[in-house]
Amino acid sequence: MSKPHSVRTLGPGDVDAMRAMLEVFGRAFDDVPTFCAAQPDDAWLQRLLESDTFIAVAAFQGGAVVGGLAAYVLPKFEQARSEVYIYDLAVAEAQRRQGIATAMIRHLQQEAAARGAWVIFVQADYGDDPAIALYTGLGMREDVMHFDIPVPRTPGA
């Protein structure tokens, strides 16, 4: 039987939990250098966690962070409403298949409603069958293309 977990939105006093969430992302995505090697300082993370446009949801089990969800609130221009974009979501390998990802998304739904958002959207990579199954069970699927457009770097920046 799995241990009970809890889920909550992180605030500016939760820098340590945010760092633990970054470690979960690094291990889950097999990219520890990106998520752990050059983390921002505490002041940056505090500002991010108190921002109206960023939402961090963490799952805890036995006091440890075992899952994380990072989302951005995108104010719209065509109407006075917002959308929420799930940028990253991960659960530690040993805690998967326990409903933690679903619980984090359900929590985000409540947080998004409180912030006046009208929809949450997320992307999944082809071949990431667990993520596709999770998101299909929670919403409607749209097949879209994604493009990364590079930003020119100024010398010395």
- The pLDDT score that the predictor gives to residue 149 is 64
In a domain, 131, yes or no: yes
Cα(61)–Cα(82) distance, integer angstroms: 31
In a domain, 151, yes or no: no
Q: Calculate the average pLDDT of the chain.
A: 88
CATH number at 10 reads: 3.40.630.30
The more confident residue out of 4 and 39 is 39
Beta strands in 1-157 (DSSP E): 6-9, 54-61, 64-75, 82-91, 117-122
In a domain, 87, yes or no: yes
- The pLDDT score that the predictor gives to residue 152 is 78
What global pTM score does this model have? 0.83
- The pLDDT score that the predictor gives to residue 123 is 75
Lowest-pLDDT range of 33-37, 87-91, 92-96, 135-139? 135-139
The count of domains in the chain is 1
pLDDT exceeds cutoff 70 at 157: no
99's CB contacts (< 8 A; 6+ apart) are: none
What is the phi/psi pair of residue 46, to 5°?
-60, -45
pLDDT exceeds cutoff 90 at 125: no
In a domain, 148, yes or no: no
pLDDT digits (tens, 9 = 90+) for 76-115: 999 888 999 999 999 999 989 889 999 999 999 999 999 9
In a domain, 153, yes or no: no
pLDDT digits (tens, 9 = 90+) for 42-55: 999 999 999 999 99
Cα(6)–Cα(8) distance, integer angstroms: 7
In a domain, 66, yes or no: yes
In a domain, 149, yes or no: no
Return the closest-CA partner of residue 135 out of 146, 149, 125, 150. Answer: 125
- The pLDDT score that the predictor gives to residue 100 is 94
